[in-house]
Amino acid sequence: MAHVSTLIVVLPLLGYLLVLVNGSRLSERQIGLVATGVVGLSFVASVVAFILLLHRSNRQVTVHLFNWIDVGTLHVPAALFIDPLSITMCLFVTGISTLIHLYSISYMHGEKDFKKFFLYLNLFVFSMLTLVLANNLVLTFVGWEGVGVCSYWLVSYYFDRDSASSAGKKAFIYNRVGDVGLLLAMFLLFSRTGTLTYVGVFAKAGSLSPTVATLVVLALLLAATGKSAQIPLFNWLPDAMEGPTPVSALIHAATMVTAGVYLLVRMSPVLALSSSGRMTIAIIGGATAFVAATIATSQKDIKKVLAFSTVSQIGYMVLAVGVGAYAAAIFLMVSHAFFKALLFLGSGSVIHALNGEQDLRKMGALQRFLPLTFPTFLIGWLTISGIPPFAGFWSKGDVLTNVFEHNKILWVVGVATAILTAYYMSRLFVLTFRGTERFRQVTHGHDPHESPWMMTLPLVLLAVLSVLGGLLDLPWIHHNSLAGFLRSTFGYVAPLHAQSTVSQYGLAAVDIAAALIGLAAAFSIWRSRSEDERLTPAFLEHVWYWDDFYDATIGRPLEELAVFSDVVVEDEVIDGGVMGIAVGISRSAEGVRKIQSGFVRHYALAMMLGTAVLIVFLVARVS
Amino acid sequence: MNVPASWYLVLAAVLFGIGAFGLLTRRSALIMFMCIELMLNAVNLTFVTFARTLSDIGGQATVFFVMVVAAAEVTVGLGIVVAVFRRRASTSVDELSELRG
């Protein structure tokens, strides 16, 4: 067990080092295969660890690697914590990473910095696994920052493009704001419990006062809003689409952005102590889900639609966490990883076919030309829209059922979001694959071509997973499924009222109706047109002017402060002070130098007068 | 004939005054040297006078020191004056104002 779980983390790091050291001697394909291979092996190790864990009665294993920090009362080991939650994360992180690595070999073919791309990708997987498997908050924080910096590097991968480098900076800075939350939570917990390991904190969680618990939960929520792109820190994610599409699929859809949700779920025993904190989480999640969905309806860039969709779906997860439905959150996280990775990789395939074009208005009627991308994308679209029997229906249904029990208003918001989800995804689908051909200008009249097998194989596998993902947790076998497997790791699970079958079927019917309404609306509107000013209002297209708001309230005042510091503080106060002293000395020196006339007799006279004064003084003193 | 000490002191004061006046008014380095010698010797005279009136040999001993130092100073000073004169054919100290502030 210990060796296998260590391997999960070490293998991607090994791949990183191998490519780093031997990169110049390996060909492009070899680099890709090494990088993909280690992540694949890491997946195998995760599967083995998972099976071993299943056969244990005590499903919490701590693998101590070495003592990392040992100062005073602060003991931070570098240790792995394997329990149902972390192994679930490992499985889907490594699994999807493998597929996306494979996809990237072909997608990134011929890029100038091919090697760099895989280096960062492997380092990212290593950091993500550190984050997930760490047995204490400090080590999690290392992984947390690791994925953040890899995300930054990969977003600004095309750093010679101005927009890419500024998008990277934006992502980094937004994340930094969130990181403060995680740090504050750690400080608070350490000062109150004296330990930072998860097990230790949970054991002493009962001694936290309600106020402290609420503060910790809010700090964790701040961390989650940064990493998982929730209100108020969500705007970095759409900009992060400047990175290569596999990066968007892996980091900004499937894995890294769910780290915030993972953190909240991991800290569920602390969340259990603060109902007001959980309520805040639920409201933030619900609001984000809805706001992002409205924005997604008006985006013109295929990847931007998917980005806002990701924000919206993570909003669902956070909402689920807020109502104490942790299993539902993880279920949605896993199935979302399947179908959103599928959708992103599918959009990558479309973009690849159209020579890098991302504008929905220049697509259309691609169904005929992309025989594998089309059906897989179709599955992804139906899955996210919530059509049974695909994974999205079950996972979203699970979340909404839990929300319904807890808070009716948030449930209405959730259903409205589901309608919008079906609507914007159908719009995306119709504009891309149906309708009229609008891409001839982009392809210079040629027919678009399907991508090579390395890109389509992951699509097919992810499509299969999207279809079957619902089996992880069907509502009538909760005890013997993902939810049952995970249950032991949660500190508190909202009591699931024995719901009548009627109400369960009723809620499911509402979900299906919501999906169908969205689908029908989108098809009737977008089948015959590619743009419509009234349906994509500027307010939504410009993200509720959220960026402008931050610009006006934070950016502009800070800039003015900087200008003030430059012009007034720097130029006048500091420079003026220094120059004033210098000028003063120079002026007084001008006066003093007149004494130095250069005439010997002047000096002699001065000496004599001085002597005379001295004598007079001495004589006066004596007498 | 017994000359009172005050005469010597008055003479010394007059000599010192002449020397000081000369030092302040003349521009030739040589003349200024002579004035300085005059002042030094005026001081020497007061030393000797007091040595006698107070019966203290210390005053006379000091005079020797002053003479030695004066001789050494003249040697150096005249050397400088000769060197300057070689360069600019003038010993006017007013022209030597390179060190003016």
Name the burial class of residue A583, with classes exposed (0-12), middle (13-18) and buried (19+) by CB atoms within 10 angstroms of its CB: exposed
Helix (H/G/I), strand (E/B), else coil: A481: coil
Distance (Å) from the C-alpha of residue A608 to the closest C-alpha of chain B? Answer: 9
| Residue pLDDT, tens place only, A285-343 | 999 999 999 999 999 899 999 999 999 999 999 999 999 889 899 999 999 999 999 99
pLDDT value, residue A493: 59
Mean pLDDT, residues A106-130 taken together: 91
Say which DSSP state A242 is in: G
Measured between its terminal Cα atoms, the distance across chain B in Å is: 56
pLDDT value, residue B100: 65
* Residue B63 scores a pLDDT above 80: yes
H or E element that contains A504: helix A501-526
CA distances from A36 to A9, A25, A32, A43 (A): 14, 18, 6, 11
SS (H, E, C) A26-90: CCHHHHHHHHHHHHHHHHHHHHHHHHHHHCCCCCCEEEEEEEEEEECCEEEEEEEEECHHHHHHH
Report residue B39's pLDDT band, with 50, 70 and 90 as the boundaries. very high
CA angle centred on A511, ends A510 and A512, rounded to 5°: 90
SS (H, E, C) A86-128: HHHHHHHHHHHHHHHHHHHHHHCCCCCCHHHHHHHHHHHHHHH
CA distance A333 to A390: 15
What is the biggest distance separating any 2 CA atoms in chain B, rounded to whole angstroms? Answer: 56
| Residue pLDDT, tens place only, A238-286 | 999 999 999 999 998 889 999 999 999 999 989 988 889 999 999 999 9
Domains of chain B: 5-88 (1.10.287.3510)
Residue of A599, A602, A615 to mutate for B, most B C-beta atoms under 10 A? A599
Q: Which range has the worst mean pLDDT, A403-417, A522-536, A605-619, B21-35?
A: A522-536
Say which DSSP state A528 is in: S
* Residue A498 scores a pLDDT above 70: no
Does the CA dihedral A27-A31-A37-A38 come out positive or negative? Answer: positive
Locate B2 and state its tokens.
């017994």
* Residue A496 scores a pLDDT above 60: no
Mean pLDDT, residues A412-429 taken together: 94
Mean pLDDT, residues A31-42 taken together: 93
Q: Are A292 and A316 in contact (CB under 8 A)?
A: no
CA A569, A572, A577, A583: dihedral to nearest 10 degrees?
Answer: 160
pLDDT value, residue A318: 95
Report residue A364's pLDDT band, with 50, 70 and 90 as the boundaries. confident
Question: What count of residues does chain B have?
Answer: 101
Q: Which residue of B has its CA nearest to A599?
A: B94
Question: Percent of chain A having pLDDT more than 90?
Answer: 59
Cross-chain CB nearest to B20 (options A597, A599, A608): A608
Question: Cβ separation of A598 and B96 shorter than 8 Å?
Answer: yes
Nearest residue to A392 (alpha-carbon basis) of A494, A460, A316: A316
Q: Which residue of B has its CA nearest to A597?
A: B100
Report residue A82's pLDDT band, with 50, 70 and 90 as the boundaries. very high
Cross-chain CB nearest to B24 (options A593, A594, A601): A601
- Which residues make Cβ contacts (< 8 Å) with residue A327, sequence separation at least 6? A398, A473, A482, A483, A486, A487, A490, A493
- Which residues make Cβ contacts (< 8 Å) with residue B10, sequence separation at least 6? none
Q: At what angle do helices A408-433 and A275-296 cross, to 10 degrees?
A: 30
Residue of B30, B36, B94 to mutate for A, most A C-beta atoms under 10 A? B94
Say which DSSP state A241 is in: G
Mean pLDDT, residues A74-91 taken together: 92
* Residue A196 scores a pLDDT above 60: yes
Q: Which residues of B touch A596 (CB under 8 A)?
A: 99-101
CA distance A256 to A127: 10
Distance (Å) from the C-alpha of residue B32 to the closest C-alpha of chain A? Answer: 9
Q: Are A284 and A225 in contact (CB under 8 A)?
A: yes
Locate A341 and state its tokens.
């990775």
Cross-chain CB nearest to B97 (options A593, A599, A604): A599
* Residue A526 scores a pLDDT above 90: no
Does the CA dihedral A474-A476-A480-A482 come out positive or negative? Answer: positive
pLDDT value, residue A499: 64
* Residue A494 scores a pLDDT above 80: no
Q: At what angle do helices A391-406 and A302-322 cross, to 10 degrees?
A: 40
What is the biggest distance separating any 2 CA atoms in chain A, rounded to whole angstroms? Answer: 123
Report residue A563's pLDDT band, with 50, 70 and 90 as the boundaries. very high
Distance (Å) from the C-alpha of residue B100 to the closest C-alpha of chain A? Answer: 4
pTM of the model: 0.80
Cross-chain CB nearest to A600 (options B93, B98, B101): B93
Q: Are A5 and A133 in contact (CB under 8 A)?
A: yes
Question: Cβ separation of B23 and A604 shorter than 8 Å?
Answer: yes
Predicted complex ipTM exceeds 0.85: no
Name the burial class of residue A85, with classes exposed (0-12), middle (13-18) and buried (19+) by CB atoms within 10 angstroms of its CB: buried
pLDDT: which is higher, A501 or A135: A135
pLDDT value, residue A79: 93
Mean pLDDT, residues A523-551 taken together: 84
* Residue A22 scores a pLDDT above 70: yes
Helix (H/G/I), strand (E/B), else coil: A197: strand
Residue of B25, B39, B81, B97 to mutate for A, most A C-beta atoms under 10 A? B97
Locate A176 and state its tokens.
């930094």
pLDDT value, residue A49: 93
CA distance A471 to A461: 16
Q: Are A194 and A247 in contact (CB under 8 A)?
A: no
Cross-chain CB nearest to A604 (options B24, B98, B99): B24
Report residue A583's pLDDT band, with 50, 70 and 90 as the boundaries. very high
Distance (Å) from the C-alpha of residue B98 to the closest C-alpha of chain A? Answer: 7
pLDDT value, residue A473: 81
CA distance A92 to A382: 21
Distance (Å) from the C-alpha of residue B91 to the closest C-alpha of chain A? Answer: 13
pLDDT value, residue A519: 92
Chains A, B: CB pairs < 8 Å: 32
H or E element that contains B9: helix B5-25
Q: Which residues of B touch A615 (CB under 8 A)?
A: none
* Residue A158 scores a pLDDT above 60: yes
For every residue of A285-343, DSSP letters joined together read HHHHHHHHHHHHTT--BHHHHHHHHHHHHHHHHHHHHHTT-HHHHHHHHHHHHHHHHHH
Mean pLDDT, residues A61-81 taken together: 90
